[in-house]
Amino acid sequence: MSVPVPKAILVVGDETKGGSRAVVQRHAAWLAARGCAVEVVIDRESSLADRRADCAVVFGGDGSLLAAARRMGERQLPTLGINRGRLGFLTSFEQEHTERALSMLLAGELHEEQRQMFWCVTRTPDGASSGPVLGLNDVVVGRDAVGGMITVRAFRGATELATYRGDGLIASTAAGSTAYSMAAGGPVLVPDLDALVLTPLASHTLSARPLVLPTGQGIDIEVIEIGGSRRAYCQIDGQVQVQIPVGARVQMRPAAMRFRHLGPGPTHFFQVLRTKFGFADLPRSRS
């Protein structure tokens, strides 16, 4: 859906990345010169949940966009991502097209597409818990860097779905299906689909295959064995990591709020699949 023309804009960057401060400040001034009220945040640890703006513009790669979504918490702003990273699959425009992207934003020409988010909580056998942590892409339950294979079991409510033995298990949203899950052999899902993908990591069983299921009330992943190590690990969006022991459960639940992605339109996802991944394309001769 189209979004209204914004008057107040939150501009987000990461001052620890080279050149980011100058890039953010230059484009913040560009927006201010066109009558926008602009707030700049370049501290990567600052909460964005209490910022009052009509939308956010995030300069960085996919990791910056994921972090911004988590930092917004329950108050998700329509968010335009400008890629300053390597791949930039989640972002909508490359840095060299920034002024075009901002011009489209101010003209009301961008479209909002909502993406499913989730809460992740870990619970140990003694009743201790950590979280909740808000995520957009995926939850990974994996083995320690030093140690043998681990065994995990996935549940949907009281129903056991599958048991996996290997390096671990990825549970991803549709938006996260093109990240770690795809690299591990999982399927590509259209990002506005309400679904989860379970993708085993280096499974010791040939019959273990990725599983796509409706989001429903979410899933649980229980750690059964950890191959001689003292801990397994749970990672949310590749950015928040929690150590978990045998018997712990990782609970992934759908969040009420949605990530509000701003982009050129619904066909952009498939264009990016082809241009950045060469997805389902035939070799073409040069003219």
In this predicted model, what pLDDT tens digit does every residue of 173-210 receive, in sequence order? 999 999 999 999 999 999 999 999 999 998 888 888 99
Identify which has the larger pLDDT, 206 or 106: 106
The residues of the chain that CATH labels 2.60.200.30 are: 117-256
Mean pLDDT for 14-38 is 93
Give me the catalytic one of 62, 138, 167, 237. Answer: 62
Asked if 195 and 174 touch (Cβ cutoff 8 Å), the reply is yes
CATH class of residue range 8-110+264-277:
alpha beta
Confidence at residue 99, expressed as pLDDT on a 0 to 100 scale:
96
> Which residues of the chain does CATH 3.40.50.10330 include?
8-110+264-277
* CB-based contact 240:134 (threshold 8 Å): no
pLDDT for the residue 86: 75
Q: Return the closest-CA partner of residue 221 out of 206, 242, 190, 204.
A: 242
> What confidence tier does 144 reach under pLDDT thresholds 50, 70, 90?
confident
pLDDT single digits (tens) 275-286: 777 776 655 555
pLDDT at 285: 55
Is residue 62 annotated as part of the catalytic site, yes or no? yes
The residue whose two tokens read 């010169």 is 33
Q: Which residue has the higher pLDDT, 285 or 56?
A: 56
117-256: CATH class:
mainly beta
DSSP notation for 16-78: TSTTHHHHHHHHHHHHHTTT-EEEEE--TTS--TT---SEEEEEE-HHHHHHHHHHHTTSPPP
Please state the rounded mean pLDDT for residues 130-152: 90
